[in-house]
Structure formats: C-alpha cells, structure tokens
C-alpha cells in the first residue's frame, strides 16, 4: 500500500507544495541522472544485442526512460522562476 505525503500537521497532502526545496531539486536532479543513464545503457545494450526480441525490449525500455527524463525536464522548465527558485503551479 502506497502512503500519501503528509504535511506538517500530519494530514495527507492533496497537492504538491508550491515551492521546491533544495532537497527536492537535488532529488529531481538525481532522477534526471538515473533516467539518462538507464536510457543510454538500454540503447547501448540494444545496439550490441543479437536477439531481436531482447533488442526491441531494450529499445522500449530506453524510450520509456527518455520519456521520463523529458517529462521531468519539461516540468522543471515550465515551473522555474527567474529569481532562481522553482515553484509549482
């Protein structure tokens, strides 16, 4: 069972907070790095794979990680504030 994020009063949050903290940004940066690395590894393994089914599965996995990377990046670009702090709409 997945837990809902809690606010400071111990109640479930129905929406994400309006401001991203430094810790949030570091975690998002890690997620971007992980997805980029997974995408590159899947692509490399797919290119070196002789089994067509495995190669197609690796291509699919690589595209999934690329989509996740692009989604995270677009959220950051759409929600960035010129003063250097990120806010969510």
pTM of the predicted model over 0.85:
no
The string of pLDDT tens digits covering residues 35-84 is: 999 999 999 999 999 999 999 999 999 999 999 999 988 877 876 654 44
DSSP string spanning 3-17? PPPB-TTSPBPSS--
Per the structure block, which two tokens stand in for 56?
């197609």
Longest dimension (CA), the chain: 56
CA dist., res. 6 & res. 4, Å (int):
6
The pLDDT of residue 89:
42
The pairs formed by 53-60 with CB atoms below 8 angstroms and a separation of 24 or more are: none
Could you give the CA distance from residue 54 to residue 20 in angstroms, rounded to a whole number? 39
Where exactly are the structural domains of the chain?
A: 22-78
Tell me what pLDDT residue 8 has.
61
């Amino acid at each position: 069972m997945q837990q809902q994020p809690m606010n400071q009063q111990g109640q479930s949050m129905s929406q994400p907070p309006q401001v991203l903290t430094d810790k949030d940004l570091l975690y998002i940066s890690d997620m971007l790095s992980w997805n980029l690395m997974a995408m590159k590894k899947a692509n490399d393994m797919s290119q070196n794979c002789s089994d067509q089914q495995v190669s197609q599965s690796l291509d699919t996995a690589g595209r999934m990680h690329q989509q996740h990377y692009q989604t995270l990046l677009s959220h950051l670009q759409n929600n960035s504030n010129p003063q250097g702090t990120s806010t969510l709409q």
